[in-house]
Chain A
Amino acid sequence: MKSLQDSIRRIINHIDYIVGLQIRIFYVFTLIFSAIISYAFYSSPSMSLSLLPFFFFIYVALISALATEPVDELSKGTIQVYLATGLTRKEYYSAWLFGGVVFQTLVFLLIYSIPALIIDPSILVVPVRQYGLNVSLGQLLIICALQTIYYGTIGMTIGAFTKRRSLAVFAVFLLMVIIPFSIGLLASIFTPSLGEGIFKGITLICNQLLYVAISSYSMVGVFGMNPFLESVIVLVFFDIIFILLSYMFWREVEV
Chain B
Amino acid sequence: MIVFDNVTKIYRSRAGSIYALRNASFKIPGGVAAGLLGPNGAGKTTSFKLILGFIKPTRGKVHVFGQDPVKEEHEVRSKIGYLPEKPIYPQVKVWSLLRHIAKLRNVASQDVYRIARLTGITRYLDFNIKSLSRGYIQRLGLAIALLGDPEILLLDEPTANLDPISRKEIISLIRDLMSELGVTVIIATHILPELQQVANYIVFIRKGQVVEYGDINTIVTRYRVTAIFRIRVSDPRRLASKLILFDKIKAVEIASDTLLVKATGEDVDEIQYFLREIVGDETKLELVSSELGELYEKLAGLN
Contact = CB atoms under 8 A, between A and B. Distances in A.
Touching chains A and B, CB distance < 8 Å:
yes
Interface in B45-91: 49, 52, 54-56, 73-74, 77-78, 80-82, 84, 86-90
Contact of A13 (B84, B92, B104, B147): B104
Contacts of B78: 85-86
Given A17-B100, A21-B90, A86-B78, A81 B56 contact: no
B101 interface: yes
B54 A83 contact: yes
Contact of B90 (A10, A14, A78, A254): A78
A84 interface: yes
Contacts of B96: 17, 20
A13 B106 CA distance: 10
Contacts, number: 81
Nearest to B81: A84
Interface string A66-78: 0000000100111
B74 A77 contact: no
Contacts of A91: 74
Given A17-B100, A86-B78, A77 B105 contact: no
A7 interface: yes
Question: Would you call the interface of chain A mostly helix, strand, loop, or mixed?
Answer: helix
Nearest to A91: B74
A48 interface: no
Given A13-B100, A255-B54, A255-B55, A81 B106 contact: no
Given A21-B90, A77-B84, A78-B90, A88 B73 contact: yes
A6 interface: yes
A62 B263 CA distance: 66
A165 interface: no
A21 B100 CA distance: 12
Contacts of B92: 21
B144 interface: yes
Contacts of B144: 81, 84-85
A166 to B, nearest CB: 18
Contacts of B90: 21, 73, 78, 81
Contacts of B49: 255
B77 A85 contact: yes
Nearest to B73: A88
B46 to A, nearest CB: 11
B35 interface: no
Nearest to A14: B104
Contacts of B55: 254-255
A77 B52 contact: no
Nearest to B83: A84
A197 B55 CA distance: 56
Nearest to B56: A254
B82 A80 contact: yes
B106 A6 contact: yes
A203 to B, nearest CB: 43
A86 B89 contact: no
A77 B89 CA distance: 9
A32 to B, nearest CB: 24
Given A78-B90, A80-B82, A80-B84, A13 B74 contact: no
Given A77-B86, A78-B88, A85 B54 contact: no
B103 interface: yes
B38 interface: no
B265 interface: no
A175 B260 CA distance: 70
B105 A78 contact: no
A199 B74 CA distance: 58
A87 interface: yes
Contacts of A10: 104
Interface string B91-123: 010001100110111100000000000000000
A254 B81 CA distance: 19
Interface string B140-174: 00001101100000000000000000000000000
Contacts of A83: 52, 54, 73, 77
Given A13-B104, A14-B104, A81 B54 contact: no
Contact of A77 (B80, B81, B88, B97): B88
Contact of B74 (A21, A80, A88, A252): A88
12 contacts: A13-B104, A73-B90, A76-B88, A77-B84, A77-B87, A81-B89, A81-B101, A82-B104, A85-B105, A252-B56, A254-B55, A255-B49
8 tightest Cβ-Cβ pairs between the two chains A and B: A86-B78, A84-B82, A88-B73, A85-B104, A13-B103, A254-B55, A86-B77, A255-B54
Given A13-B100, A88-B73, A254-B54, 7 more contacts: A3-B74, A7-B74, A77-B87, A81-B84, A84-B81, A85-B147, A89-B73
